[in-house]
Amino acid sequence: MARTELARGRNMKLKPGGGIMPQRLKFFALFAVISLFPLGFAKDYDKGDKEKNSVDFEVDGSIRYRYEYWQQHPFLWSGVAFPGFGFFGSDVFNHNYNNWHLLRSRIGVKASLNEDKFAYIQFQDSRYFGWDAAFGYQGFDAMTPDLHNYNDNGFFGVTQAYMQVNRLWDTPFGLKIGRQFLEYDDQKLVGSDDWSNYGQSFDAIKLMFRHEYFDGDLFYSQLWPFYPVDDIYGNINFFGFHGTAKFTEGHTWSGYLYGYRDGNLGVPGGFGFITDPNEDPFPVTDTSKTLLWTLGTRAEGEIGGTGLGYAGEFALQFGNWYQTDVSAFMFELDAWYKFKEVTSQPYFGAGFTYASGDDSADGDKNTFVRLFPSPHKHLGYMDLVGMQNIMSLELKAGVTPVQQLSLQAAFSFFWLNEERDAWYGAYGSRFEVDGDGGTMGRDSVWTSKTLGNELDFSLKYKYNGGLWFKAGWSHFFTGSALQGLVIDDASATKVDLEDPNWIYIQTGLDF
């Protein structure tokens, strides 16, 4: 569940109206003016500076409400399980019931000079109702870069604000500058995270290439919001290249190289240490900076219009993660079949996902870093499993009995890859079993790799005029890895984690 957007961590608050963010916005605005006027708008100004260009305006918006109910949620905001929270006895551990309401409103305005040149700004207001939402259930302690660190639970701001020129000098090259969504492939690694109550934006400059047979993006961004811990994490950058070859109809092949750089030399509280959560703290030095590279490729398509589809992706990570050398990878394989001649369009499919984990505290990092995905639609709808130290097999099916109504079901099997590494949620938080070393994640000692199974049912109904409804129920069958967990270190009391349940109801109006 994307509960992490609700609250994250330890009294982290954005500083309204001050600090680094206004300076960054001013920088992007100034850079956009300097860049776009002499390039994309050059032809208009050749006719005379006094000529007034007509502007077309378009307005769009959406309002979305969601209610969520949890029974036996295994995560807390600190990223650890209930046994580590300090409660006593299995009653608190296993019998928790939580619910909350989420409301997100967006309004956007597009101002166009023509089809090639326009500006867009989108305002967003995100609210929660119900105190349970404040607990968040995912942690700032997560070892992965993550944008979901809001602690205020209610937030109003600018989620998109950019200028775009599609064809510079009538070439296939374009330019997009400002706050924007980055969405690539199936959003397993980079996405806008629409399920989140906040979404996921980047302050970025992007050079685009669009052609009949190839699309490419070269981008550089600073994260927004950057980690809001006393404004000390303002130097985290995400950049890269993504290209898609459309070599034949119905098939695409893409390749990418992403870079993640953390140039900070400070940590929350000013303790003078910088650390991978899976390694021991160490003194800050000029060489402690992170530069993580992700090199990958993806293919997807349908074979000959038969209804038989496929998708596959492989990514390799290397570089430095604070003081550790990185060697990690992930891959996925999916196949499905849709009965295209049947009115109700039934389909079934299967998917396999593998993301590496780490087996020791040897100074090398083998746990795959999930980057900035839209995780909700991957690895189960409950968001209890993320693409780190995991092996998953998914069986899925769906049908559209009437044009407005679609039904889906899925059953997933989850195994840990390494018993010495943690179980990671979709938003990066950890559920670990501490070993002798007591280091989070890397010194976990699981007695089994069998994490459990998840059953998901969901439906969507399109009413009319942009009004829609969604609902779902999910159940997690805990595996042997979650049996006999110690809840009280003093008495060594052991309990079995009971099966979590999750229900959601959602509706929205898009216009």
Q: Is the pLDDT of residue 504 over 50?
A: yes
Length of the chain: 511
In our burial notation (b when 16+ CB lie closer than 10 A, e otherwise), range 218-255 reads ebebbbbbbbbbeebbbbbbbbbebbbbeeeeeebebe
Tokens of 148: 């979901």
More confident residue, 472 or 51: 472
DSSP per-residue letters across 323-346? TEEEEEEEEEEEEEEE-TTSTT--
Question: Residue 286 burial by CB count (10 A; 0-12/13-18/19+): exposed, middle or buried?
Answer: exposed
Question: Residue 345 burial by CB count (10 A; 0-12/13-18/19+): exposed, middle or buried?
Answer: middle
Q: Is the pLDDT of residue 37 over 60?
A: no
Q: What is the mean pLDDT of the chain?
A: 78
More confident residue, 455 or 157: 455
**Would you place residue 432 in the very low, low, confident or very high pLDDT band (cuts 50, 70, 90)?**
low
Calculate the alpha carbon distances from 53 to 39, 47, 117, 335 in Å.
16, 11, 12, 50
CATH of the domain at 362: 2.40.160.100
More confident residue, 137 or 235: 235
Number of domains in the chain: 1
Ranking 6-20, 216-230, 360-374 by mean pLDDT, the lowest is: 6-20
pLDDT of residue 486: 65
- Which residue from 159, 54, 61, 156 is spatially nearest to 113, judged by alpha carbons? 54
Question: What's the pLDDT tens digit per position in 273-295?
Answer: 555 555 555 555 555 667 899 99
In our burial notation (b when 16+ CB lie closer than 10 A, e otherwise), range 15-24 reads eeeeebbeeb
Question: What's the pLDDT tens digit per position in 307-316?
Answer: 999 999 999 9
Mean predicted confidence (pLDDT) in 358-380: 86
Q: Is the pLDDT of residue 422 over 90?
A: no
pLDDT of residue 364: 82
> Under a CB-based contact definition with an 8 Å cutoff, are residues 355 and 316 in contact?
no
Q: What is the pTM of this model?
A: 0.81
**Would you place residue 168 in the very low, low, confident or very high pLDDT band (cuts 50, 70, 90)?**
very high
In our burial notation (b when 16+ CB lie closer than 10 A, e otherwise), range 145-173 reads bbbbbbbebebebebbbbbbbbbbeeeeb
Question: What's the pLDDT tens digit per position in 210-235?
Answer: 999 999 999 999 875 444 333 444 56
Phi/psi at 4 (5° precision): -70, -20
Instruction: Tell me the residue range of the domain where 495 lies.
Output: 3-47+54-510
pLDDT of residue 312: 97
3-state helix, strand, coil in the chain (%, to 5): 10, 50, 45
pLDDT of residue 472: 97
